[in-house]
Amino acid sequence: MDTILLFGVLLLGLAMQAEWLEAKPPSQKPARIPSFLKVCHRDSPELNTCARESFEALRPQLMNGIPELYIPPMEPLVVPEVKMDQDSGAIYLHSVYRNVKVTGISTHTVNELRLEPSKLKFIVSLTFPRLHMESEYSIKGKIMMMPLLGDGHCAVDLKNITMQTELIGQEYKENGVNYLKINEVKVQYQLSDVKIHLDNLFNGDKALGERMNQFLNENWKALAEEVRPLMTKALVDILRASVDKLFAAFSYDDLLPKGKA
């Protein structure tokens, strides 16, 4: 496989730094695949085993980031800004998270890694035993009928997060070379335990702030369901940006060459 493809899929594991989002694919096409990547073949009966081995071998580099593949450092992962806005139905929420730092990504385990070249479909499922996130936040809204207002530092601890990502692509030709365009990026996740702390809620009112934090932690499950559509969209948008660059820069035939070996 190409590990590269894998990486694309894996990236779905999370987000990107600004310079990564802005980096342009090389103007010379197709770009050269870095030599440290073990390439797997599309028609190999051992494709998924190859993909997994290739991924395991590259894991350390992956966690440090691989600029050639538009993959940002993952430990920690720094995202300059995430916005979550919704103004419909039961939710009214406007929130911005700045300088989001996520630690714990490197300790993931791979549950499933499946490449289905015949369907141009690539699936990866990962479990993260623990993730810790910190950021500056600004929230204004109403969640579960409660007004929520604040501006400060926040910390979130998550345990046992399982995340499935699926990419579905389409082939196209450019200058006689086959490329993939990813039409669909699907992300699903399950959470087992969430601890949240928001500093400086309600203009620094300590009593109100403490009550709200307690409320959020007691009701994290319902709360997580309310923000799931927003969260899923944020993850998909972030992943899309890097996946699109990866597949625009490298041809499909280089990423996942034809043949059995």
Ligand X SMILES: *[C@@H]1O[C@H](CO)[C@@H](O)[C@H](O)[C@H]1NC(C)=O
Q: Helix count (H) and strand count (E) of the chain?
A: 6, 7
Number of residue whose CB is nearest ligand X: 190
Q: At closest approach, how far in Å is the CB of 107 from ligand X? A: 14
Closest CA to 1 of 46, 51, 53, 35: 51
Please, which of residues 106-165 interact with ligand X by CB under 6 A?
Answer: 160, 162
Please, which of residues 221-250 interact with ligand X by CB under 6 A?
Answer: none
Q: At closest approach, how far in Å is the CB of 221 from ligand X? A: 12
**Structure tokens that stand for 6 in this block:** 């894998």
Nearer to ligand X, 107 or 192 (CB): 192
Q: Burial level of 122, CB count in 10 A (0-12/13-18/19+)?
A: buried
Nearer to ligand X, 17 or 164 (CB): 164
CA 155 to chain centre: 19
Nearer to ligand X, 49 or 190 (CB): 190
To 10 degrees, the CA torsion angle through 249, 115, 56, 39? -50
Nearer to ligand X, 170 or 190 (CB): 190
First to last CA, the chain: 10
Q: Which residue has the tokens 């720094």?
A: 78
Q: At closest approach, how far in Å is the CB of 225 from ligand X? A: 14
The yes or no reply on residue 170 touching ligand X (CB under 6 A) is no
Nearer to ligand X, 121 or 159 (CB): 159
Q: How far is it, in rounded angstroms, from Cα 97 to Cα 116?
A: 36
Q: At closest approach, how far in Å is the CB of 192 from ligand X? A: 4
Write the CA distances from 227 to 43, 51, 87, 222, integer angstroms: 41, 33, 12, 9
Q: At closest approach, how far in Å is the CB of 129 from ligand X? A: 9
The yes or no reply on residue 188 touching ligand X (CB under 6 A) is no
Compute how many residues bind ligand X; rule: CB under 6 A: 4
The yes or no reply on residue 190 touching ligand X (CB under 6 A) is yes
Footprint of ligand X on this chain (CB under 6 A)? 160, 162, 190, 192
